[in-house]
Chain A
């Protein structure tokens, strides 16, 4: 079974600074997707960024980028120029095309942004 691990229960960053959230996963598959979702206090799950495993290039979305290390099974999220609105729970998730397309979530990292 696939597992997703987020080793940082909480992280803190100063406004305008950069922070990196860690995620590792375990799988024997070669074709899969990885995601980062943000859950603010409203509890709405918001897609931040997606990475296809077959792509070597790291995905970027404005201030958000990932460092995808397939051999190491690592998928970290970097948030640049942190803003107060970035404060939320962040969940790393894994999806296997060949296993019902369901998401497997990590335990989450709570990000606090200091003004």
Chain B
């Protein structure tokens, strides 16, 4: 299957700082990537859809200025949590759209655990 990486896997930061998370498709090009947030023992919540070369589409209730998304190339999307606060502490997961022979699939990165002190 296709491989998606995420970096960093763990990050601890002080309140008020910004944190950037990278999502890369390693062996395929992804025009579309997705960012999710997952709270403990809960399902994944879609935050935004990241499209290469255009603005991201945010889900209702997700602050655009808080969670900045940039999809500058066909293999890289970044999520920047600006002015992080303790309530932003969570598990963030990205996925990349993969369509071998037209069959729709999404592959996920390993996730990033963010702890804001």
Question: B-contacting residues of A (Cβ < 8 Å)?
Answer: 33, 35, 37, 42-47, 50, 52, 91, 95, 97, 100-103, 105-108
Q: In this complex, which of A37, A45, A91 has the most chain B Cβ atoms within 10 angstroms of its Cβ?
A: A45
Q: Are B104 and A97 in contact (CB under 8 A)?
A: yes
CA–CA, A105 and B59, complex, Å: 15
State which of A46, A52, A102, A108 has its C-beta within 8 Å of the C-beta of B46: A102
- Size category of the B interface is 20 to 34
- Give, as a whole number of angstroms, the nearest-CB distance from A48 to chain B: 11
* Residues in A neighbouring B46, C-beta threshold 8 A: 102-103
Using CB atoms, name the residue of chain B closest to A33. B104
B1 at interface by CB-CB < 8 Å: yes
Pairwise interchain contact B97-A106, C-beta atoms closer than 8 A: no
Shortest Cβ gap from A87 to chain B (Å): 15
> Are B44 and A47 in contact, with the CB atoms below 8 A?
no
B42-53 interface bits toward A, Cβ cutoff 8 Å, 1 = contact, 0 = none = 111010010000
B111 adjacent to A44 (CB under 8 Å)? yes
Q: How far is the CA of A47 from the CA of B32 in the complex (A)?
A: 18
Across-interface contacts of B93 in A (CB, < 8 A): 43, 45
Interface residues of B in 54-110 (CB under 8 A from A): 57, 91, 93, 95, 97, 103-108, 110
